[in-house]
A and B are shown apart, each in its own frame.
Chain A
Amino acid sequence: EAQVTQNPRYLITVTGKKLTVTCSQNMNHEYMSWYRQDPGLGLRQIYYSMNVEVTDKGDVPEGYKVSRKEKRNFPLILESPSPNQTSLYFCASSLKGPKGRYEQYFGPGTRLTVT
Chain B
Amino acid sequence: AQSVTQLDSQVPVFEEAPVELRCNYSSSVSVYLFWYVQYPNQGLQLLLKYLSGSTLVKGINGFEAEFNKSQTSFHLRKPSVHISDTAEYFCAVSGFAQAGTALIFGKGTTLSVSS
Contact = CB atoms under 8 A, between A and B. Distances in A.
A104 B45 CA distance: 9
Interface residues of B, number: 24
B53 interface: no
Contacts of B44: 43, 90, 106
A41 B107 contact: yes
Contacts of B42: 108-109
A11 to B, nearest CB: 16
Interface of A: 31, 33, 35, 40-45, 48, 50, 58, 90, 92, 94-97, 100-104, 106-109
Given A43-B105, A102-B32, A109-B42, 19 more contacts: A31-B100, A31-B101, A43-B44, A43-B90, A43-B103, A45-B103, A48-B102, A90-B43, A94-B101, A101-B49, A102-B51, A103-B49, A104-B100, A106-B43, A106-B44, A106-B45, A108-B42, A108-B43, A109-B43
